[in-house]
């Protein structure tokens, strides 16, 4: 049942790269001296217009009556003689730039490739609209106007009624938690406000700056200064995500990452298991954690740092890079314990006074990674959605792997960090294609017929080349096509089975009444299905 549900999600998804397609227009390039009239019958009622747009390259633009007709023509023309190229027309677009007036000053978001990813998603919800939450653990906050819409609210708690409504041990923790007071009245400190703005200032609202996520919920946890308070803060996050997991999303919060832009110098994780073990506990529930190195040029592998030297597959540690893509001279490093770099010098942030300023430090590198994690979870990715409850720790590992293995290599970070590079959000997004449109683990084939069209939907366990054949009941091949399953998007082929819908030199004739066999196969996998044409 789970695989069938996931397959349905996959087939109904419009995909990441299909968003600019003009679904009823086809570009067709023909061999020199060939004309479109010799390839197809322009009298077909499905064709609205044919236009030669390049004499030199012999390219035509066909406008069809609808998307289904266009897909049918593409499927048939792909194997037609003298057809060199066929594809749906596409619209170009300017790289997405938010309308926030101070975005032009946010060099840090451009350098990590955020604009490319915003073409796909701007954050906030998963593929099936689960609210994504990033927990920011800090000394304090004063919610800036540019953050107000993105603050997480504890739906299990009624504000200011003096009751622990959700029975989590805290009274009135509606807008997060002040560890010291046990409620949601946060200490007004600039630091947490600034950190939060990088990962989640409201974007595209004609005001101030934008965060990496235009829309995301920020869980505020303040007064986390001592180790005891830090432990309590992480326990709060674990409880909220566990409630979410155990209730199938009806309670708690879908926290995907924590941001802790602080630490304790000259301490080693091996001496503090009560702290470090929490990262594994968070990871088991599906929560990654991000931390920052000291703001001094120390080798944490030698000098120590908490939590940088904690050993956990669910912890990402970051150092500070500049606008010139070099390691800051005032930032820690360590080839064993510092994972990667992120912008942190002279980056635009909010201030408690509803103003903005430029700040520097590893504290500002950290939310670039946490914000990236949140944005990656919002990709239109059925596999992430399917794993949220079934295998949350695996999805967290996949997201971290995508970030770590697709950094922008920087010489000054080599021999100074694990990855040798700076976060590349666009690269991590591309890498997640192996997760987001990997198979559900089986080969599937579903053939359906309407009066004029044959629809072949399929699923494959890999991205290798496959062949689709259609045979009649005496074994004669009536249609064949090589396919490479798309990385993103629906997996289907639509064929026009009426005589006028088939190009005169196409391999497949129209299908007369009878029984047929559809076969999807390569050297490793094969599946067949019988179907009837009335």
Q: What is the CATH number of the domain that holds 27?
A: 3.30.70.330
Most confident of 73-82, 213-222, 436-445, 477-486: 213-222
- Pairing verdict, β 356-359 and 347-350: antiparallel
Range of the domain at 507: 440-534
In a domain, 2, yes or no: no
User: What confidence tier does 515 reach under pLDDT thresholds 50, 70, 90?
Assistant: confident
Judgement on whether residues 374 and 305 belong to the same structural domain of the protein: yes
In a domain, 106, yes or no: no
Lowest mean pLDDT across 119-123, 156-160, 357-361: 119-123
Q: What is the pLDDT of residues 9-56, one digit of tens each?
A: 333 332 333 346 788 999 999 999 999 999 999 999 999 999 998 888
In a domain, 111, yes or no: no
Q: Is pLDDT above 80 for 512?
A: no
Judgement on whether residues 153 and 72 belong to the same structural domain of the protein: no
pLDDT for the residue numbered 197: 96
User: What confidence tier does 441 reach under pLDDT thresholds 50, 70, 90?
Assistant: low
Q: Is pLDDT above 90 for 531?
A: no
| Boundary residue ending a domain (436, 470, 491) | 436
Judgement on whether residues 392 and 475 belong to the same structural domain of the protein: no
- Per DSSP, 263 falls in state -
| Boundary residue ending a domain (414, 436, 458) | 436
Where are the extended beta strands (E) located within 66-162?
Answer: 83-90, 132-137
- Pairing verdict, β 47-54 and 288-292: unpaired
Q: Cβ(500)–Cβ(44) under 8 Å?
A: yes
Judgement on whether residues 328 and 349 belong to the same structural domain of the protein: yes
Judgement on whether residues 457 and 384 belong to the same structural domain of the protein: no
pLDDT for the residue numbered 445: 86
Judgement on whether residues 470 and 527 belong to the same structural domain of the protein: yes
In a domain, 411, yes or no: yes
User: What order of strands is seen across the sheet that includes strand 340-343?
Assistant: 177-178, 217-222, 132-137, 254-260, 288-292, 315-321, 340-343, 421-422, 408-409
Judgement on whether residues 170 and 86 belong to the same structural domain of the protein: no
| Boundary residue ending a domain (385, 416, 436) | 436
In a domain, 310, yes or no: yes
User: Where on the phi/psi map is residue 15: left (φ > 0), alpha (ψ -120 to 50), or beta?
Assistant: left
Query: Number of folded domains in the chain?
Result: 3
Report the DSSP beta bridge partners of residue 468: 481, 520
For 77-87, what is the mean pLDDT?
A: 88
pLDDT for the residue numbered 268: 95
Q: Is pLDDT above 60 for 326?
A: yes
| Tokens, residue 39 | 């390839």
Provide the H-helix boundaries in 104-188. 107-111, 114-118
Q: Which residue has the tokens 């997991």?
A: 245
pLDDT for the residue numbered 456: 86
Q: Cβ(415)–Cβ(334) under 8 Å?
A: no
In a domain, 109, yes or no: no
CA distance 235 to 323: 36
pLDDT for the residue numbered 497: 66
Task: Return the number of other C-beta atoms located less than 10 Å from residue 24's C-beta.
Answer: 19
Q: What is the pLDDT of residues 97-111, one digit of tens each?
A: 788 899 999 999 999
pTM above 0.75, yes or no: no
Q: Is pLDDT above 50 for 502?
A: no
User: Where on the phi/psi map is residue 408: left (φ > 0), alpha (ψ -120 to 50), or beta?
Assistant: beta
Judgement on whether residues 76 and 185 belong to the same structural domain of the protein: no
Judgement on whether residues 187 and 324 belong to the same structural domain of the protein: yes
Domain with residue 191: its CATH number is 3.40.50.200
In a domain, 370, yes or no: yes
Judgement on whether residues 398 and 446 belong to the same structural domain of the protein: no
pLDDT for the residue numbered 463: 67
In a domain, 121, yes or no: no
Judgement on whether residues 201 and 237 belong to the same structural domain of the protein: yes
Domain with residue 517: its CATH number is 2.60.40.3080
Q: Is pLDDT above 80 for 385?
A: yes
The DSSP line for 200-241 is HPPPSSSSS---SSSS-EEEEEE---SHHHHHHHHHHHHHHH
Q: What is the pLDDT of residues 109-127, one digit of tens each?
A: 999 999 989 988 999 999 8
In Å, how far from its chain's centre is CA 87? Answer: 26
Judgement on whether residues 162 and 214 belong to the same structural domain of the protein: yes
């Amino acid at each position: 049942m789970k695989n069938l549900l996931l397959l349905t999600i996959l087939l109904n998804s419009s995909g990441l790269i299909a968003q600019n397609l003009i679904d009823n227009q086809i570009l067709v390039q023909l061999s020199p001296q060939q004309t479109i009239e010799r390839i197809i019958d322009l009298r077909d009622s499905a064709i609205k217009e044919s236009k030669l747009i390049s004499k030199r390259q012999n390219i035509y633009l066909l406008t069809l009556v609808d998307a289904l007709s266009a897909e049918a023509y593409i499927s048939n023309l792909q194997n037609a003689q003298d057809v060199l190229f066929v594809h749906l027309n596409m619209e170009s677009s300017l790289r997405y730039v938010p309308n926030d007036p101070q975005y032009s000053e946010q060099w840090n978001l451009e350098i990590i490739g955020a604009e490319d990813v915003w073409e796909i998603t701007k954050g906030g919800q998963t593929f099936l609209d689960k609210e994504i939450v990033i927990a920011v653990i800090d000394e304090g906050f004063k919610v800036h106007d540019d953050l107000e819409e993105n603050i997480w609210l504890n739906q299990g708690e009624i504000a200011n009624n003096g009751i622990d409504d959700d029975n989590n041990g805290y009274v009135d923790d509606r807008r997060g938690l002040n560890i010291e007071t046990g409620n949601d009245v946060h200490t007004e400190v600039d630091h947490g406000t600034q950190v939060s703005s990088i990962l989640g200032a409201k974007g595209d609202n004609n005001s101030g700056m934008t965060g990496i996520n235009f829309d995301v919920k920020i869980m505020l946890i303040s007064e986390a200064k001592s180790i005891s308070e830090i432990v309590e803060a992480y326990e709060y996050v674990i409880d909220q995500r566990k409630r979410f997991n155990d209730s199938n999303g009806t309670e708690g919060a879908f926290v995907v990452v924590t941001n802790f832009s602080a630490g304790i110098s000259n301490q080693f994780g091996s001496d503090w298991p009560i702290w470090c073990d929490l990262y594994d506990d968070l990871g088991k529930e599906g929560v990654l954690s991000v931390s920052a190195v000291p703001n001094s040029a120390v080798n944490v592998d030698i000098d120590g740092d908490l939590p940088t030297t904690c050993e956990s597959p669910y912890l990402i540690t970051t150092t500070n890079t500049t606008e010139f893509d070099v390691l800051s001279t005032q930032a820690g490093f360590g080839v064993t314990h510092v994972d990667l770099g992120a912008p942190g010098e002279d980056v635009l942030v909010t201030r408690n006074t509803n103003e903005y300023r430029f700040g520097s430090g590893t504290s500002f590198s950290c939310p670039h990674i946490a914000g990236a994690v949140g944005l990656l979870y919002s990709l239109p990715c059925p596999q992430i959605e399917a794993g949220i409850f079934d295998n949350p720790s695996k999805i967290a590992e996949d997201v971290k792997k995508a970030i770590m293995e697709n950094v922008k290599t920087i010489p000054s970070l080599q021999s100074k960090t694990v990855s040798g590079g700076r976060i590349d959000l666009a690269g991590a997004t591309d890498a997640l294609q192996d997760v987001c449109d990997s198979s559900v683990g089986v080969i599937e084939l579903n053939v359906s017929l309407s009066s004029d069209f044959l629809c072949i939907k399929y699923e494959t366990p890999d991205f290798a080349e496959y062949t689709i054949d259609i045979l009649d009941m005496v074994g004669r091949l009536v249609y064949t096509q090589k396919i490479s399953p798309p990385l993103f998007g629906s997996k289907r082929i639509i064929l026009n089975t009426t005589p006028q819908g088939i190009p005169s030199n196409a391999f497949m004739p129209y299908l007369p009444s009878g029984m047929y066999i559809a076969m999807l196969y390569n050297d490793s996998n094969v599946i067949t299905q019988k179907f009837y044409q009335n």
